[in-house]
Structure 1
Amino acid sequence: MGMGHDKNKVSIVIAHYNAGNYIRKALDSLVRQTMSQDDFEVIIVDDKSTEPLDIIQGYECKIKHLRIIVEEQNHGYPSIPRNHGIAKAHGTFIMLMDQDDNLADDTLLTFYKFAGNDSDVIIGKYAEGKMYNGTQVPFRSGTNIKDANIITDHILSTLAPHKMYRRAMLNQYDIRFPDSSYIPVEEDQVFNMKVYSASRKISILADKDYYYWNQRRDFGNLGKSLSYTYNEPWKYLNILSEVFNIVEASPNWSLLQQSKLKAMYIGRPFNSSYTNVIEIIKLQKNEQERENLIIGLRDIINERMSSQSISEVGQESRWMVLGIKHGMNYEELSLIEAELSSG
């Protein structure tokens, strides 16, 4: 992974669609970076906006290396635009940002220095903005960790894409965002699980806020909320299968770690809109779809989770995994949930 061929230290990739004035905050924060303008490039990948790009073009005199790439067709999801930005990047690292967000002034320089030659992903503390719905677990201690432990340092609770990634690692392991026809929801989880599975070192910077998550997590005002939900069985089954594939294929994780990570993933609370697997089952359109999802989950649990792995699922979710495994239907699972929540 030689450093010789990289034109820049960091490439910032922003998927954009009709952000209007909202993108000023992101670009102004890039103008203010303490890293020299010679050392980073900004790649805006526009998902064929219907509005002109004059606001972004206005920054061509303020950001030395600013490139605008316009997609030939609108995708409606950030995955493909981000992939195109990653493919066109020249930096040693790639920093993914969303169009409404902004960075602390020293984010790029601090991340780059902390990474050194051996960190493949840098996770900086998120500031809790108005619409923030992530989790702060990995950052609570306020401690910077150079070589974080995937299990004990709660890395699985930060699967958002606003991180800095070593470009050579992304390319070596062919890590890209999945197509929305295969994974239309939480595509960043699949991307980051693959990153974590391949990284030599995962680093956490938690001493202060670095990334300001301002508004909507959903790729700006793209109005994709209807499709951006686990409302059909295949959507959750695909993501779960894919995450398990990644865990099992990791060049770095032992069988013990793989078992634990599957348990952590299937048992994790998602974000504020979906708390856990039972909530995803509830989102299905009708009884048939709910049962189809349960049957699909039962197959995955039976084929891919050992009894050891199931015993490591967090207590609040373990009953549900066991219930699905042992043939319970939606009604029975709902009754257990109601009993448990009433104490």
Structure 2
Amino acid sequence: MPAPAVSVVVPVYNPGPFIRPLLDCLDAQAPVDDGFEAVLVDDGCTDGTATMLDRWCAARGWARVIHQPNSGWPSRPRNVGIGVARGEFVFLVDQDDRLTDDALALMVRFARANDSDVILGRMVSLGRKVPTRLFAHTVADARPPKVPLQDSMTPHAMFRRAFLDEHGLRFDERARRLEDHLFLTAAYTRARHVSVYADRPVYLHVARWDGGGAGYVSYDPHVYYRDLGRAIRMMLDAVGPGAERNAYLGRWVRRELVGRLSSDAVRWLPRDRRDAFFQEVADTLRTTLPEGALRRLPAVWRWPAALALEASPDEFLRAEDRLATSLRTEVAGLTAETLWKQDVAPETLARARAHLAPDEKPPVSRALASRGRALRRRSELAALRLLARTGLHHRLVAWGRTPVVLARQVCAVIAPVAAVAASLTAFAGAGAASVVLVTVAGVATTFLALRSGRGWPTACRLALALVPAGVLAAGSGPGIAAVAVTAALIGAAWLDDHRGRRSDVRVHAGAAWWRRPGRIAITAGALALVEIALTAALV
């Protein structure tokens, strides 16, 4: 059998329904010159996905699945997939993302035309951040800083297989979270041509409604910054002094080093864990950045980086908050010693200034433009500090990693509780209260159904909210008939969704507004309205 043009390598571990859109988009791919293959590497799935993949691949000669014991991270399955891939190119795709229908055909033609070793296709956000600057233009031979390759350090790209083999490029299976930085740093700095295809969307980054994904796994700051230091040193060894090196360093300072310290993910951690991050960042800056590197950073990060090196965590955060809650007109022209005199000790400022030019001013661009925004930010910080003192903020972050996830978890409790309470009030003869509670249950169920990956929980919640109407219909022939018809509609909606292979997973944050709710949510909302009206009529 002739080798295909491209092998799509997908590491798979307990994706549940979230892998279905990727499988569907592989089925829908436009014809590719010389064809393509899909290599799905089952990393010890325990949720039934392995059996489903066996059935799916058996019906497709261009797809195969490889089963292996769980390794705990995507690195090994990616390496296994690369090792068995037969394609001229290897395209690395995550299990819960997807490709546009013509992605493979476009990328293969583009890569061959430009003799590319690494090809980044235009990424589209479906609820997740993507590097939009990088895809402003199609570029055959891209290098920082003219083309900000450093903005994309995720492996969701296409690579010439001969290039990977020639340089022995594989993922470091010991690393956690930064294996992609190590891999991409080596690939970017060794490739003859890194190309960026921006004419049409190629790769769709999808935010899962359940907040799942490897990126949310907690990590040890010592191990994390040890591996980041390895990536930085790898780049320094490969790239000489100049604008390209500065672009890579600026990215890591902005995203993984100094920028990480003021993020909610770090600053509201318990004090000992928060301070561990500060210590590791300072050590990484001190041991990996070349002499004078801070002076060559973008102006907005020079003072924050100097303070991260010399200030205590409390001093650093006070300085950040002072700048983030000040008006630009108030801080323009101020020296650091004047702006931060109440926040940072004079000797600390003196040590920090030694890393910078003598006339370096604080980054005024990070201050706010209007009093309204400054007042809002001050109010937010005051509320977050109060939550942090009570310990509630940390618990909320641990419980729901994003506001949407937290809201879904709260509604998952509210919906059944309100439905049961509605039944009890109906038994007690408090019909008006029962209508209110059925409304609460219906609204919560509809919210949960938005971008839902499965229909049966929605059907169960709707059935539970229908019980009060059944109680109130006792002794009424028409009422009982209406309840029975509504129950049949709930069952029919569930069967339709089941036969549609959980099609609601295809609906995402980036869809057109009229498609966002999805079939499960639209049906749930309609049936909730029927239940509310029926309960009210029976009262």
TM tier relative to shorter chain: 0.7 to 0.9
> Partner amino acid for 1:102?
R
Distance verdict in 2 for CA 1:106–1:263, change over 3 Å: same
Match of residue 328, structure 1, among 305, 311, 317: 311
Q: CA deviation at 1:114?
A: 1.0
Which is helix-richer, 1 or 2?
Answer: 2
> Partner amino acid for 2:156?
H
8 A Cα contact 1:122 1:165, kept in partner: yes
> Partner amino acid for 2:177?
V
**Pairs within 5 Å for 1:1-343:** 7-36=3-32, 39-52=35-48, 53-60=50-57, 63-72=60-69, 74-116=70-112, 118-129=115-126, 131-139=127-135, 141=136, 143-179=137-173, 182-216=174-208, 228-230=217-219, 232-250=220-238, 253-257=239-243, 259-269=245-255, 275-279=259-263, 282=267, 285-287=270-272, 289-325=273-309, 327-343=310-326
Q: CA deviation at 1:16?
A: 0.9
> Partner amino acid for 1:311?
R
Which has the greater radius of gyration? Answer: 2
> RCO greater where, 1 or 2, for CA within 8 Å and sep 6 or more?
1
Of 233-242 and 145-154, the range deviating more from structure 2: 233-242
Distance verdict in 2 for CA 1:342–1:175, change over 3 Å: same
Distance verdict in 2 for CA 1:166–1:17, change over 3 Å: same
- State the distance in 2 between where 1:310 and 1:119 align: 34
TM-score (norm 1): 0.83
> Partner amino acid for 1:70?
H
Q: CA deviation at 1:29?
A: 1.5
Q: CA deviation at 1:217?
A: 11
> Partner amino acid for 1:243?
A
Distance verdict in 2 for CA 1:156–1:262, change over 3 Å: closer
Q: CA deviation at 1:264?
A: 1.5
Distance verdict in 2 for CA 1:20–1:304, change over 3 Å: closer
Q: CA deviation at 1:294?
A: 3.5
Structure 1 alignment gaps of length 5 or more: none
SS at match of 2:307: helix
> Partner amino acid for 1:159?
M
8 A Cα contact 1:8 1:38, kept in partner: yes
Q: CA deviation at 1:59?
A: 3.0
Q: CA deviation at 1:262?
A: 4.4
Please list the CA deviations of residues 177-208 of structure 1 after superposition, one character each: whole Å capped at 9, or x if unmatched. 223xx532243233222211111111111112
Distance verdict in 2 for CA 1:28–1:304, change over 3 Å: same
Q: CA deviation at 1:247?
A: 0.4
Q: CA deviation at 1:38?
A: 5.5
- State the distance in 1 between where 2:154 and 2:89 align: 17
SS at match of 2:224: helix
- State the distance in 1 between where 2:77 and 2:106 align: 27
8 A Cα contact 2:186 2:234, kept in partner: yes
Distance verdict in 2 for CA 1:339–1:118, change over 3 Å: same
8 A Cα contact 2:261 2:278, kept in partner: no
CA RMSD of aligned residues (A): 2.9
8 A Cα contact 2:229 2:288, kept in partner: no
SS at match of 1:60: helix
Distance verdict in 2 for CA 1:28–1:262, change over 3 Å: closer
> Partner amino acid for 2:246?
K
- State the distance in 1 between where 2:43 and 2:269 align: 30
Q: CA deviation at 1:158?
A: 1.5
> Partner amino acid for 2:120?
I
SS at match of 2:255: coil
> Partner amino acid for 2:168?
D
> Partner amino acid for 2:131?
T
Please list the CA deviations of residues 108-152 of structure 1 after superposition, one character each: whole Å capped at 9, or x if unmatched. 1211111126211111111221x322231112x3x2111112222
Which is strand-richer, 1 or 2?
Answer: 1
- State the distance in 2 between where 1:19 and 1:292 align: 33
- State the distance in 1 between where 2:221 and 2:254 align: 18
- State the distance in 2 between where 1:120 and 1:156 align: 16
Q: CA deviation at 1:337?
A: 0.8
Count of residue pairs brought into register by the alignment: 322
Q: CA deviation at 1:91?
A: 1.3
8 A Cα contact 2:92 2:157, kept in partner: yes
Distance verdict in 2 for CA 1:37–1:101, change over 3 Å: farther
- State the distance in 2 between where 1:307 and 1:217 align: 45
Of 105-114 and 25-34, the range deviating more from structure 2: 25-34
Distance verdict in 2 for CA 1:217–1:155, change over 3 Å: farther
- State the distance in 1 between where 2:2 and 2:169 align: 18
Distance verdict in 2 for CA 1:212–1:106, change over 3 Å: same
8 A Cα contact 1:267 1:318, kept in partner: no
- State the distance in 2 between where 1:118 and 1:188 align: 23
Q: CA deviation at 1:30?
A: 1.6
